[in-house]
């Protein structure tokens, strides 16, 4: 039961991440590699606020989401002019900047939570408390699974409302043909700002949930591997509609679990998993570029 609850928590985190990433990749048509950076911003904001400043669960999550939304301008402003390879390069640069900031924004002698030590550097932040809301402490795997499910449900509901609204339709229009969307009077700059901010906030919510579950975070959450993994999720599941990323999140959760039953030595498991992801990506790009359930092909 604990094992299933654990899987459910990860599934919910992946669903939130895929939902946010789909807004950028599937609806704005911009391939990005900075998602792990925004996920880490949510994780670190939550950890810092709850460990160093003793904030509650909701304010800590809100801090991470708000911070990620503001910092999304690092990629949304370049998206006004750039797309394709150039935008990927910018997003990669943002990813590296965030990772470097997490590694280096600390002094061993300074206490955590001060301006001189915001991240604890390579040592990471441990002892991140379990969520505590309205007098209820979510300190078991089962209760956390319920919280993660409710959080993912709320995110999905908000995401569905937004993406199926005229706002989501304008995003699809500017993805299909930005010039034509401009010709209809749509302020595509504003729409991109909004979409990237909401997407990055969702990534940060996923990051906060992750930090609250594992109780320890270090700079590896912001690594490029994580970004690629998240991207695989939406590319394999399919982008440009609502169900594709959900399928992708499930696939990427189920895939390592299947490998677990193949008795591959632990030392090799991670490499085999990465290799399998790579192979899966190549196969998908060749035979089904729109993903398993997607409605849009990445050019």
Partner 1 sequence: MTSLTLSRPFALPLETTSSPVILRTQSISKAFGGQRVLDDVSVQLRRGEVVLLRGDNGSGKTTLLNVLSGNLEPDSGTIELSADGTEERFTFPRRWWKTLNPFDHFTPDRVAREGVGRTWQEIRLFSTMSLHDNIAVASSGQLGENPLLVLVKNSAVRKQENNNLAIAQDMLTQLGLGDRGAASGDRISLGQSKRVAISRAVRAGGQILFLDEPLAGLDGTGINQVLGMLEVLVRDQNITLIIVEHVFNIPLLLTWATTVWTLKRGRLEVQAPDDVQEEANSDIGTGLRSWITELGGPDGQINDQPIAGGAMLSTVIPSGRPRGKVVLEVRDLVVYRGNRLIIGHDHDGEIEGLSFSLREGEVSVLQAPNGWGKSTLLDAIAGLTPIRSGEIVLRGRSIKSMSPWARAGYGLTLLQSRNHEFPNLTVKEALHLTGHVALPDNLHRLLGRKMSDLSGGEKQKLAIYAALRTDQSRVRLFDEPLSMLDRVSIHELQRVFKPSAGEAFLIAVPGSPEILGVD
Q: Which residues bind partner 1 (CB under 8 A)?
A: 80, 158, 161-162, 165-167, 169-170, 172-173, 176-177, 179-191, 194, 198, 240, 295-296
Q: Cα–Cα distance between 4 and 142 in angstroms, integer?
A: 9
| Number of residues assigned to the chain | 299
Q: Which is nearer to partner 1, 174 or 284 (CB)?
A: 174
Q: Which CB atom, from 172 or from 212, has the smaller least distance to partner 1?
A: 172
CB of 42 to partner 1, least distance (A): 19
CA distances from 272 to 60, 230, 237, 263 (A): 36, 17, 20, 12
Per-residue buried b or exposed e for 183-197, using 16+ beta carbons within 10 Å of the residue's own CB: eeebebeebbbbbbb
| Residue number, 139 or 177, with CB nearest to partner 1 | 177
CA dist., res. 68 & res. 199, Å (int): 9
Minimal distance in Å, beta carbon 245 to partner 1? Answer: 16
Q: How far is the CB of 201 from partner 1 (least distance, A)?
A: 11
Q: Which of 161, 193, 180 is nearest to 80 (CA)?
A: 193
Q: How far apart are CA 197 and CA 38, in angstroms?
A: 10
What number of other Cβ atoms are within 10 A of residue 120's Cβ? 25
CB 21 within 8 A of CB 234: yes
Residue with token string 């997490």:
102
Nearer to partner 1, 80 or 86 (CB): 80
Whichever of 176 and 271 has its CB closer to partner 1, that residue is: 176
Using the minimum distance from each CB to partner 1, give the nearer residue, 166 or 265: 166
What's the closest the beta carbon of residue 50 comes to partner 1, in angstroms?
Answer: 27
Closest distance to partner 1 from the beta carbon of 260 (Å): 38
At its nearest, how many Å lie between partner 1 and the CB of residue 151? 16
């Amino acid at each position: 039961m604990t094992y299933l609850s654990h899987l459910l928590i990860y599934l919910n985190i992946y669903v939130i991440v895929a939902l946010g990433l789909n807004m950028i990749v599937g609806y704005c048509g911009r391939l990005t590699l900075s998602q792990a950076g925004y996920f880490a911003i949510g994780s670190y904001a939550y950890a810092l606020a709850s460990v160093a400043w003793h904030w509650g669960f909701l304010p800590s999550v809100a801090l991470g989401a708000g911070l990620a939304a503001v910092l999304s301008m690092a990629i949304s402003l370049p998206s006004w002019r750039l797309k394709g390879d150039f935008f990927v390069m910018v997003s990669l640069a943002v990813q590296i900047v965030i990772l470097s900031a997490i590694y280096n924004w600390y002094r061993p002698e300074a206490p955590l939570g001060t301006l001189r030590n915001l991240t604890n550097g390579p040592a990471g932040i441990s002892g991140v408390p379990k969520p505590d809301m309205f007098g209820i402490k979510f300190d078991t795997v089962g209760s956390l699974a319920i919280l993660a499910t409710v959080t993912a449900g709320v995110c999905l509901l908000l995401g569905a409302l937004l993406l199926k609204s005229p706002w989501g339709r304008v995003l699809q229009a500017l993805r299909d043909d930005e010039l034509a969307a401009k010709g209809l009077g749509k302020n595509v700059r504003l729409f991109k700002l909004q979409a990237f901010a909401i997407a990055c906030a969702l990534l940060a919510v996923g990051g906060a949930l992750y930090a609250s579950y594992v109780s320890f975070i270090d700079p590896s959450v912001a690594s490029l591997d994580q970004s690629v993994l998240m991207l695989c999720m939406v590319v394999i599941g399919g982008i440009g509609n609502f169900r594709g990323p959900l399928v992708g999140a499930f696939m990427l959760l189920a895939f390592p679990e299947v490998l677990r039953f193949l008795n591959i030595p632990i030392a090799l498991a991670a490499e085999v998993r990465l290799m399998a992801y790579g192979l899966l990506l190549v196969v998908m790009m060749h035979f089904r570029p729109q993903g398993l359930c997607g409605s849009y092909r990445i050019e």
